[in-house]
């Protein structure tokens, strides 16, 4: 069932709550691929009812980012969802979510602002305000759908850590279910932004997973010094890659590590053909 208004969703949720059914929410920006589908499958398997939101959230895009050209494929998204057993696809307009004329400045909208310590690093450094937009929209979706479980991909690990923190700090009655990164056979993490890459760009983009796998294999051999682990990556990089960051941080607090351990996640962001790509790996396991 494709719904565009908050009122329609609320009405259906009220019915399900009355029947005592559990509700899973999978928030997305659409252009669904098998990464999204893995979250959807988990929700359908675990919950009595599943809601997938498809909303390209304007307030999480920074000036100069790809808001206007972000891929929008609602028809195929809806088909993927109905084939997967989704009960509601919620695809609101920006006006529906933020009001007529949607004045998005924080002079006019109540934002949920996660702690600066979590947002001044990694993607937050170049995407100022991005996680404020994410936390605000996810909070709104939680209030609209009132899910028991919400499914998020480890592909966006900083986002996942920040949302877990938000749920804990604000006592939001939802359980966050982290889901593994889905990759192509080549190792490339699936992303809606991979559509911007040429065939050659996709090959160049393998550098992210190669660097991360190499670091993990060095860690497994006993190297724990972060400087030494980082240095193993340089030989993978060439003039087609513009590295934004390669950082070793704690899986819960995002504190920087100088010695890697099982609580460490390695985060990478780099540009290929001017497309910004991110990936990460947990050193445990
Ligand atoms: P997006 O539409 O990019 O906002 O992503 C919606 C959700 O799908 C987020 O929780 C992402 O982390 C998750 N996701 C995107 N790509 C992948 C992937 N390759 N593997 C697992 N989850 C993913």
Question: Is 206 found in the same domain as 135?
Answer: no
| 136-165 burial code (b ≥16 CB/10 A, e <16) | bbbbbbbebbbbbbbbbbbbbbbbbbbbeb
Ligand 1 contact via 61 beta carbon (within 6 Å): no
Would you state the pLDDT for residue 104? 64
Would you state the pLDDT for residue 105? 67
Mean pLDDT, consecutive 10-residue stretches, the chain (285 aa), reads: 98 98 98 98 98 97 93 97 98 93 72 97 96 98 98 98 98 98 98 95 98 98 98 96 98 98 98 97 95
* Structural domain range at position 235: 192-278
Question: Is 173 found in the same domain as 84?
Answer: yes
Closest by CA position to 31, among listed 71, 81, 69: 71
Would you state the pLDDT for residue 107? 66
Which atom number of ligand 1 is nearest to the Cα of residue 190? 19
The answer to whether position 172 is within a domain reads yes
28 CA distance to ligand 1 centroid (A)?
7
Ligand 1 contact via 182 beta carbon (within 6 Å): yes
Question: Is 230 found in the same domain as 116?
Answer: no
SS3 158: helix
C-alpha span between 135 and 66 (Å, rounded): 19
Which atom number of ligand 1 is nearest to the Cα of residue 192? 3
Would you state the pLDDT for residue 100? 79
Question: Is 60 found in the same domain as 11?
Answer: yes
Do strands 49-54 and 23-28 pair parallel, antiparallel, or not at all (unpaired)? parallel
Question: Is 135 found in the same domain as 272?
Answer: no
Question: Is 112 found in the same domain as 62?
Answer: yes
Strands (E), the chain: 2-3, 23-28, 49-54, 88-90, 149-153, 175-179, 241-250, 264-272, 275-282
Which atom number of ligand 1 is nearest to the Cα of residue 181? 20
Q: In what order do the strands lie in the sheet with 275-282?
A: 241-250, 264-272, 275-282
Structural domains counted in the chain = 2
**Residue bearing the CA closest to ligand 1, atom 14:** 153
225 CA distance to ligand 1 centroid (A)?
31
C-alpha span between 18 and 33 (Å, rounded): 33
112 CA distance to ligand 1 centroid (A)?
21
DSSP state of 19: T
Ligand 1 contact via 24 beta carbon (within 6 Å): no
Ligand 1 contact via 44 beta carbon (within 6 Å): no
What's 203's domain CATH number?
A: 3.30.1300.10
The answer to whether position 187 is within a domain reads no
The answer to whether position 185 is within a domain reads no
CA distances in angstroms from 166 to 138, 247, 254, 264, listed in the order given: 10, 23, 14, 21
Point out the domain boundary residue: 179, 207, 239.
179
Point out the domain boundary residue: 179, 206, 227.
179
C-alpha span between 156 and 271 (Å, rounded): 16
Burial of 201 (C-beta count, 10 Å sphere; 0-12/13-18/19+): middle
> Which residue is catalytic, options 33, 36, 102, 241?
36
Closest by CA position to 151, among listed 128, 175, 134, 133: 175
C-alpha span between 146 and 131 (Å, rounded): 21
pTM for the structure as a whole: 0.97
Ligand 1 contact via 189 beta carbon (within 6 Å): yes
C-alpha dihedral over 230, 233, 238, 241, to 10 degrees? -60
107 CA distance to ligand 1 centroid (A)?
30
Contact 229, 223 (CB under 8 A): yes
Question: Is 172 found in the same domain as 259?
Answer: no
What's 145's domain CATH number?
A: 3.40.50.620
153 CA distance to ligand 1 centroid (A)?
5
Pocket-testing residue among 25, 27, 28, ligand 1, by greatest number of atoms within 8 A of Cβ: 28
Question: Is 150 found in the same domain as 240?
Answer: no
Which atom number of ligand 1 is nearest to the Cα of residue 33? 16
Question: Is 201 found in the same domain as 69?
Answer: no
C-alpha span between 117 and 273 (Å, rounded): 31
Residue 193: count of CB within 10 angstroms of its CB: 15
Ligand 1 contact via 60 beta carbon (within 6 Å): no
Contact 160, 167 (CB under 8 A): no
Residue 102 designated active-site: no
Question: Is 92 found in the same domain as 160?
Answer: yes
The answer to whether position 285 is within a domain reads no
φ and ψ at 120, to 5 degrees? Answer: -90, 10
């Amino acid at each position: 069932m494709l719904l565009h208004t908050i009122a329609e969703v609320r009405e259906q949720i009220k019915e399900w709550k009355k029947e005592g059914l559990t509700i899973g929410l999978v928030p997305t920006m659409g252009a669904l691929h098998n990464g999204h589908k893995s979250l959807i499958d988990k929700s359908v398997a675990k919950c009595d009812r599943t809601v997938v939101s498809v909303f390209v959230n304007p307030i999480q895009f920074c000036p100069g980012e790809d808001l206007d050209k972000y891929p929008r494929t609602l028809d195929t998204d809806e088909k993927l969802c109905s084939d997967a057993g989704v009960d509601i696809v919620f695809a609101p307009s920006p006006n529906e979510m933020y009001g007529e004329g949607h004045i998005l400045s924080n002079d006019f909208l109540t934002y949920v602002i996660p702690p600066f310590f979590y947002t001044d690093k990694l993607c937050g450094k170049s995407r100022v305000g991005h996680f404020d937009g994410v936390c605000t929209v996810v909070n709104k979706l939680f209030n609209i759908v009132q899910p028991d479980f919400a499914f998020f991909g480890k592909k966006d690990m900083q986002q996942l850590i920040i949302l877990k923190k938000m749920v804990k700090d604000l006592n939001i009655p939802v359980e966050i279910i982290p889901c593994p990164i889905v990759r192509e056979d080549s190792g490339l993490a699936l992303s809606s932004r991979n559509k911007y890459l040429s065939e050659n760009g996709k090959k160049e983009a393998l550098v992210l997973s190669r660097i991360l796998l190499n670091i993990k294999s060095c860690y497994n051999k006993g190297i724990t010094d972060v400087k030494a682990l980082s240095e193993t990556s340089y030989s993978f990089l060439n003039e087609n890659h513009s590295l934004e960051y390669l950082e070793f941080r704690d899986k819960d607090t995002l504190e920087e590590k100088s010695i890697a351990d099982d609580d460490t996640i390695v985060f990478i962001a780099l540009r290929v053909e001017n497309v910004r790509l991110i990936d990460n790996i947990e050193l445990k396991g």
